[in-house]
């Protein structure tokens, strides 16, 4: 006889990164964890992309201060930031392809050199860098963003070795724009990396003006592969360089991670990232709707997003339902995640909730 009581008293959700969040009191912290020292002058009191398309790249001879970049994101409403310069850039000079030398092993840190101190009420500063590692089957190198460490160069090692080095320095990392690289052997290289290094927290699902839409497919494939035993969290970042770009390619304030913060400190930021206490937003040509809460109860998951025009639910990479409330009774996927849409391509995506 079928045991119809097997699920009684048990939540259908096995892993819910939002389980302990008090949505009334939690600080929603707009964040960027992948951006570069500005290549051109920027207006720190403007929330739009600089410079405009007419200015030639590098046309500004005076080197702009990364402090202006921090202020510009502050002006746009952000409260946590990592300036993750490429490993081959030092003091505004590009050394791509040069043999390694010790001075390359630096990060854009400390912020005090630009007189930004990250005090109470200021932007929360996170040390970081965009490093590179080799991956079998991928032509050229794969980028990896290091957070919370002083590692400034991957020294030509494998992606796995670079991720391990970040881990050993008590940092965390994620893979930027996975959709950018050819994946000749499927996701094998990523699977091994996530299997072996716990602190590789996830992948970028949106980069800039959604430069690589395939990033979401890779994220979903990894979620299916690992399930609840090894959550893969999504990140979204501008990858802003303060370069002139055509209007449809401007990157400032387009893709972001929203942290649900218990504690406004660098440690609080890293803790939230590790636990997936976040959601991601892509503005498109509009404004991504805020998510006021994600709650589970009575075999249902509910997303509250008053500004959203629609909500759709993804399970194992495919749309499975629409509407603010998902009834879990008939759902047999490994995980579910919600996408709350606004107008003009704007969308806010929750992290996955893994089902029992």
**End-to-end CA gap in the chain:** 21
Given a contact cutoff of 8 angstroms between Cβ atoms, the answer to whether 159 and 153 are in contact is no
User: Closest approach of Cβ 241 to Zn ion, in Å?
Assistant: 7
**Is the CB of 186 or the CB of 214 nearer to Zn ion?**
214
180: left (phi over 0), alpha (psi -120 to 50) or beta: alpha
Q: Which stretch binds Zn ion (CB under 5 A): 115-123, 128-136, 257-265, 329-337?
A: 128-136
Which DSSP string do the residues of 5-67 spell out, in sequence order?
A: TTTTTS-SEEE-TTTT--TTT-EEEEEE-S----SS---TT--S-SS-TTSPTT---SPPPHH
Q: Cβ of residue 311: shortest distance to Zn ion, in angstroms?
A: 31
Binding residues among 130-159 for Zn ion as defined by CB under 5 A: 130
Element (H, E) at 319: strand 318-322
Q: Is 204 in the site for Zn ion (CB under 5 A)?
A: no
| Helix ranges, 60-108 (H) | 66-75
> For Zn ion, which stretch binds (CB under 5 A), given 70-78, 123-131, 251-259, 325-333?
123-131
Residue 85 CB, shortest distance to Zn ion, in Å, is 9
Shortest separation between residue 246's beta carbon and Zn ion, angstroms: 19
Applying CB under 5 A, the span of 18-26, 43-51, 96-104, 129-137 interacting with Zn ion comes to 129-137
Residue 60 backbone phi and psi in degrees, to 5: -90, 115
For residue 181, the minimal CB distance to Zn ion (Å) is 13
68 versus 239: smaller Cβ distance to Zn ion: 239
What is the rounded CA–CA span in Å between residue 71 and residue 116?
9
Q: Map the footprint of Zn ion across residues 235-254, applying CB under 5 A.
A: 239
Closest C-alpha to 352, from 220, 214, 262:
220
Site size with Zn ion, rule: CB under 5 A? 2
**Quick one: CA torsion of 85, 88, 91, 93, rounded to 10 degrees?**
-120
Query: Is the CB of 82 or the CB of 223 nearer to Zn ion?
Result: 82
Task: Report the candidate in 253, 350, 336 with the shortest Cα–Cα distance to residue 292.
Answer: 350
Contact characters 249-278, Zn ion, x per CB under 5 A = ------------------------------
**Closest distance between Zn ion and the C-beta of residue 82, in Å?**
11
* Contact set with Zn ion (CB under 5 A): 130, 239
């Amino acid at each position: 006889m079928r045991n119809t009581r097997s699920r009684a008293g048990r939540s259908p959700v096995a892993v819910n990164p939002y389980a302990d969040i008090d949505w009334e009191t939690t600080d929603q912290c707009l964040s960027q964890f992948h951006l570069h020292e500005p290549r051109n002058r920027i207006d720190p009191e403007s929330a739009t992309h600089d410079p405009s398309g007419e200015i030639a790249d590098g046309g500004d001879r005076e080197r702009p201060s990364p402090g202006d970049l921090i202020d510009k994101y502050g002006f746009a409403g952000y409260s946590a930031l990592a300036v993750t310069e490429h490993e081959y850039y030092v003091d505004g000079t590009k050394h791509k392809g040069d043999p390694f030398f010790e001075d390359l092993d630096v990060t854009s840190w400390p912020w005090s050199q630009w007189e930004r101190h990250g005090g109470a009420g200021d932007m929360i500063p996170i040390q970081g860098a965009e490093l590179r590692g080799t991956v079998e089957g991928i032509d050229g190198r794969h980028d990896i963003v290091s957070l919370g460490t002083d590692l400034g160069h991957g020294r030509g090692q494998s992606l796995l070795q670079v991720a391990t080095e970040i881990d050993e320095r008590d940092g965390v990392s994620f893979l930027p724009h996975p959709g950018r690289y050819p994946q000749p052997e499927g996701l094998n290289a990523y699977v091994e990396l996530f299997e072996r290094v716990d602190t590789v927290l996830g992948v970028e699902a949106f980069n800039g003006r959604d430069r690589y839409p395939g990033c979401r497919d890779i994220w979903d494939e990894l979620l299916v592969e690992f399930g609840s035993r090894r959550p893969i969290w999504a990140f979204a970042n501008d990858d802003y360089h303060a370069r002139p770009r055509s209007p449809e390619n401007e990157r400032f304030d387009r893709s972001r991670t929203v942290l649900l913060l218990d504690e406004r400190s660098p440690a609080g930021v890293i803790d939230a990232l590790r636990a997936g206490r976040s959601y991601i937003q892509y503005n498109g040509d509009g404004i991504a709707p805020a998510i006021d809460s994600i709650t589970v109860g009575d075999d249902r998951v509910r997303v509250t997003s008053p500004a959203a025009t629609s909500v759709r639910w993804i399970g194992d990479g495919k749309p499975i339902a629409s509407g603010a409330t998902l009834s879990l009774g008939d759902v047999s996927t490994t995980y579910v995640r919600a996408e709350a849409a606004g107008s003009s391509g704007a969308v806010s995506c929750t992290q996955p909730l893994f089902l029992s």
